[in-house]
Amino acid sequence: MKSEEIRLEDLHAGKFIEQKVDEISAAIGTGLAMNALSGGVDSSTVTMLGYRALGERLKTYFVESGLMRHDEPKKVVSLFEGLGVPVEIIDAQEQFFEALKGLTDPEEKREAITQTFYSVVFGQLVRGSGAKYLLQGTNYTDVEETVAGIKRQHNILEQLGIDTEERYGYTVIEPLIQLRKPAIREVARALGLPEEIYRRPPFPGPALAARVIGEVTPQRVEVVRRATRIVEEELCDTGAFQYLAILHGDRVTGIREGRRDYGFQIEVRCWDSKDAITGSPTRLSYDVLDKLADRITTGVPGVVSVTYNITHKPPSTIEPI
């Protein structure tokens, strides 16, 4: 498939869809393909393109890595079932936490997630299903940042010289590789996906592991999951590009009920951005920040400190890992 960028102003969503459906059909022939649906804009769009091209010959999986947000697997699967697309949940929590055990370096954590996803989980699914292709929603920006050496996005393989057929036993097909996020939202809308999908803020492939500084354990993911739920509830109407909660690696002294409480720190980020390449912190009102601090310190056990990040990208990146 082609790899040069199609800019939003040059995109004709209807034609793009027709062309990609034809290309997917031609590439898979009469065989089977798999795809991993996370419920984000990119993977949802690929799921719909793949389903249009292949129907029941597309096996769509939601990988429950233990790193997803509150109730995410259930919500995503039922939404797609409502659209007529069957989705199977694969429980891989043990495998992901085992691979992440003891790791604190961001790029090592990303690599562990990539290997667990492609080699362990999809390697096994390929052997079980007989599918020889994996459709995935890699986009133009993912490739750009990885190739520039800024961050190894979890889904970049061939662009780094990895032969997926040789290494994992299947070929990766990337129908969205020419588009950035705003163009993908247009295609999602044209495919008939609901607004809650095509307007969804981006969420990283490594999921909440991208927001845990230090070791990623089920307990630490649960802290960030609870804080994320509060941040998303409070900031979803701000019109911001993306908003997130981060669990810091070190603890700080706080006070609870008159006693010392050596607790967790949560950092909140809320970004204004067009395409995630650059970004600036949203000028949230003090009332909003105050409410966030109050809800997070009362609603998430163990948290004694909440901060708001005021840095631009660059030099920051959107996610801390």
By CB under 6 A, name the binding residues for ligand XMP: 142, 145, 151, 153-155, 202, 204-206, 210, 242, 276, 313, 317-319
Of 153 and 297, CB closest to ligand XMP = 153
Please state the closest distance from residue 71 (CB atom) to ligand XMP, in A. Answer: 20
Of 142 and 174, CB closest to ligand XMP = 142
Of 50 and 206, CB closest to ligand XMP = 206
Please state the closest distance from residue 277 (CB atom) to ligand XMP, in A. Answer: 8
The enclosing H or E element of 62 equals: strand 58-64
Task: Identify the CA nearest to 138 among candidates 186, 188, 177.
Answer: 177
Please state the closest distance from residue 288 (CB atom) to ligand XMP, in A. Answer: 21
Sheet arrangement for strand 171-173? 87-91, 58-64, 33-36, 133-135, 171-173
Of 99 and 304, CB closest to ligand XMP = 99
For 5-33, b/e burial (b = at least 16 CB within 10 A) is: bbebeebebeebbeebbebbeebbeeebb
Please state the closest distance from residue 55 (CB atom) to ligand XMP, in A. Answer: 26
CA 178-183-185 angle, to 5 degrees, is 125
The answer to whether the peptide bond before residue 314 is cis (omega within 30 degrees of 0) is: yes
* Helical spans, DSSP H, in 217-307: 218-235, 286-299
Please state the closest distance from residue 40 (CB atom) to ligand XMP, in A. Answer: 7
Residues 6+ apart with CB under 8 A from 94: none
Please state the closest distance from residue 39 (CB atom) to ligand XMP, in A. Answer: 12
Of 282 and 297, CB closest to ligand XMP = 282
The number of angstroms, rounded, from the C-alpha of 203 to the middle of its chain's C-alpha atoms is: 4
Using Cβ positions, the residue closest to ligand XMP within the complex turns out to be 205
Of 59 and 151, CB closest to ligand XMP = 151
Please state the closest distance from residue 298 (CB atom) to ligand XMP, in A. Answer: 27
The residue ranges of DSSP E strands in 174-274, in sequence order, are 242-247, 252-256, 259-272
Q: How far apart are CA 245 and CA 268, in angstroms?
A: 5
Spatial contact of 132 and 168, defined as CB atoms under 8 Å apart? no
Of 66 and 204, CB closest to ligand XMP = 204
